[in-house]
Structure 1
Amino acid sequence: MSGEEGNRFPGELPPEKRAEDRGRNSGPARSERPEGGGARDDAQGSSPGRPERPAGSAGAEAGRSHARGAAESSAGHGSSQDHEGTAKGTPDSSGDKGDKKAGPARERREASSGAAGQAPGGGTGNGSTGRQRLAQAVWPPRVTRAQLIVALLLFVLGLGLAIQVRSTSENSSLRGARQEDLVRILDELDDRSKRLEGEKQSLERQRTELENSSDQAEEARKQTRQKARQLGVLAGTVGAEGPGIELTVTDPGGSVEADMLLDAVQELRAAGAEAIEVNNVRVVANTYFSDSSGGVSVDGHKISPPYRFQVIGKPKDLEPALNIPGGVVQTLRKEQANASVKPSEKIVVNALRSAKRPDYARSSGQ
């Protein structure tokens, strides 16, 4: 075996055979060379000053290059098949690490996609969670000390305003009164002032007479008798007559109560009534009214409707006091009762009260 034959790879053709094959394939043109070897031969052939290799050695080198390329391609094909088989069978360590790293991210993506898919239908998405958080923030309410103090102050303020409005509405009964009624009330107040002024002047005159009289004892007895008669009228121990009014209250529905009759007495006293009698019962300073079955009791004496008041006083003062807006007559009419006022020049009050010695009060001279 020659040197060239020893350098051939197994299955490689001799140079002569390869030359013949090239001649048959390409003719007189340039011979084909393997991709890497041809470039290397061109470079070597084009370099100046280097002698050309014999044709036999060049063919042997080309054969070796071709064989190496075939072996590398076969080896690469085999390794790719092995790699594919390994990938199809069991993953390698790098694949395991990639899968491990991609696992949590894939799970998060799957969870978010699942939640987004469930939100419209099942109501378990982020919208439902937001409503639940809002409900938890609102209820149960978290009350602080400052909120309690503010609430207490607002409550006190509202209570004060309510009381003020109520008192104002109660005291504004005369706001809707007519001008004639207001003038009448003003005249009544003027008459009261004049009456009190007259009493004051009478007492001053009596004092002057006592001081200037030669017989002071006789004058004192005279004035004492006059004063006793006046006090007897007020106390109900003696009868009285004079101008006044007659008030009659009919109650067909039985709706008149004791406090309504007491209001009538108070209005008459405020208007200057000097003697009052109700159904033959004398009304004095300590008279009381109470409700009873089928009527009203006055000082323990049961009276029934119609209720008749005999009042001695100035008729021009007594009648307007009962007919003012919001007064006794209007109140009784609201209760389905009827009240009529009749002035008279002579009213007789014959009902008497026995004088009662006070248990505790004594005159300052004793």
Structure 2
Amino acid sequence: MQELRAAGAEAIQVDDVRIVANSYLSDVRAGLWPPRLTRAQLIVAVLLFILGLGLAIQVRSTSDSSALRGARQEDLVRILDELDNRSQRLTDEQRRLEGQKTELENSSDQAEEARKQTVEKEQQLGVLAGTVAAQGPGINLTINDPTHSVEADKLLDTIQELRAAGAEAIQVDDVRIVANSYLSDVRGGVEIDGKRVTQPYRFKVIGKPQDLEPALNIPGGVVQTLEKEQATVGVTGEQKIIVDALREAKRPDYARSSSQ
């Protein structure tokens, strides 16, 4: 093609390829284009890049140092003051963040303590309301009344005496005694809150045994009154009494909490 061009050829086509000014030819069997880099060439290229980068950094550092060496004294003082101010601001920010962290930790501790107190208070109220089971030291009280002479008022006196002696939870047979419990006489027994209980009446009482037992045995007290009705009374102190009869929580119809 070079010879044809030298002889004045104005247009050349080889097969279906038009030859132009920047046309090039290559031997396919000799290799692929573009040529592949050898491993040695790649290593040399990387080293040259690292060397160039190092030189650029060194030049920049030298320029910065030269600029500072050439700065006036008042400029250097100003730069130093700015650095001191920036350091002080960072220190103040660190202290502020540490203070916030301490406040959050204290707030978290207070919230956890409040939560624990709330749970404990709910448990205490649940015991009083009869909505949760309770256990603790107390007494077992059994009243045998084979003649059916013990009426509701005598059992109510027994409950009141136990409460006055510090009873915290009371159960008669399978009925939990609460603040609004009521007793009534029915044929062959007694009803407590509409549930029939029959003799022998079994009381499970949680409280201090050393206070509950003497309260029942005082002269003219519960035990003597029941014995006059030809009933027999048995009292035993226990280190673990389980009161597991439960009451359904009821929402009052009229009473509401007051902020006063």
Superposed CA deviations along residues 174-231 of structure 1, whole A, max 9, x for unmatched, are xxxxxxxxxxxxxxxxxxxxxxxxxxxxxxxxxxxxxx97743332222111000011
> Structure 1: where are the runs of 5+ without partners?
1-211
**Is the partner of 1:255 in helix, strand or coil?**
coil
Partner of 1:316: 210
- After TM superposition, the structure 1 = structure 2 runs for residues 269-284 of structure 1, keeping only pairs within 5 Å, are 269-284=163-178
Q: Distance in 1 between the 2:107 and 2:208 partners?
A: 33
Partner of 2:148: 254
- The alignment status of 1:289 with 2:176, answered yes or no, reads no
Q: Kindly provide the amino acid, as one letter, of the partner of residue 217 in structure 1.
A: A
1:311 CA drift (Å): 0.3
Aligned partner of 1:229 among 123, 137, 142: 123
Aligned pairs, how many? 155
Q: Distance in 2 between the 1:297 and 1:213 partners?
A: 51
**Is the partner of 2:238 in helix, strand or coil?**
strand
Partner of 1:298: 192
Partner of 1:241: 135
Q: Call closer, same or farther: CA 1:228–1:336 in 2, change over 3 Å.
A: same
The structure with more strand, counted as a fraction of residues: 2
Q: Distance in 1 between the 2:140 and 2:109 partners?
A: 44
TM-score by length of 2: 0.57
Larger radius of gyration between Structure 1 and Structure 2 = 1
Are the equivalent residues in 2 in contact too, given 1:213–1:219 (CA < 8 A)?
Answer: no
Q: Distance in 2 between the 1:243 and 1:280 partners?
A: 19
**Is the partner of 1:357 in helix, strand or coil?**
coil
Q: Call closer, same or farther: CA 1:265–1:213 in 2, change over 3 Å.
A: farther
- The alignment status of 1:357 with 2:247, answered yes or no, reads no
Are the equivalent residues in 2 in contact too, given 1:245–1:342 (CA < 8 A)?
Answer: yes
Partner of 1:181: none
Alpha-carbon RMSD across the aligned residues, in angstroms, is: 1.7
Q: Distance in 2 between the 1:296 and 1:238 partners?
A: 25
Are the equivalent residues in 2 in contact too, given 1:281–1:351 (CA < 8 A)?
Answer: yes
Partner of 1:331: 225
Q: Looking at both structures, which has the greater relative contact order when contacts are Cα pairs under 8 Å and sequence separation is at least 6?
A: 2
Q: Call closer, same or farther: CA 1:270–1:258 in 2, change over 3 Å.
A: same
Q: Distance in 2 between the 1:303 and 1:214 partners?
A: 50
The structure with more helix, counted as a fraction of residues: 1
1:365 CA drift (Å): 5.0
Superposed CA deviations along residues 68-95 of structure 1, whole A, max 9, x for unmatched, are xxxxxxxxxxxxxxxxxxxxxxxxxxxx
**Is the partner of 1:316 in helix, strand or coil?**
helix
**Is the partner of 2:223 in helix, strand or coil?**
helix
Superposed CA deviations along residues 36-73 of structure 1, whole A, max 9, x for unmatched, are xxxxxxxxxxxxxxxxxxxxxxxxxxxxxxxxxxxxxx
> Structure 2: where are the runs of 5+ without partners?
1-105
TM-score by length of 1: 0.41
Q: Distance in 1 between the 2:192 and 2:242 partners?
A: 19
1:349 CA drift (Å): 0.7
Q: Distance in 2 between the 1:215 and 1:347 partners?
A: 35
- After TM superposition, the structure 1 = structure 2 runs for residues 1-366 of structure 1, keeping only pairs within 5 Å, are 215-364=109-258
1:299 CA drift (Å): 0.3
Identity between Structure 1 and Structure 2 (%): 72
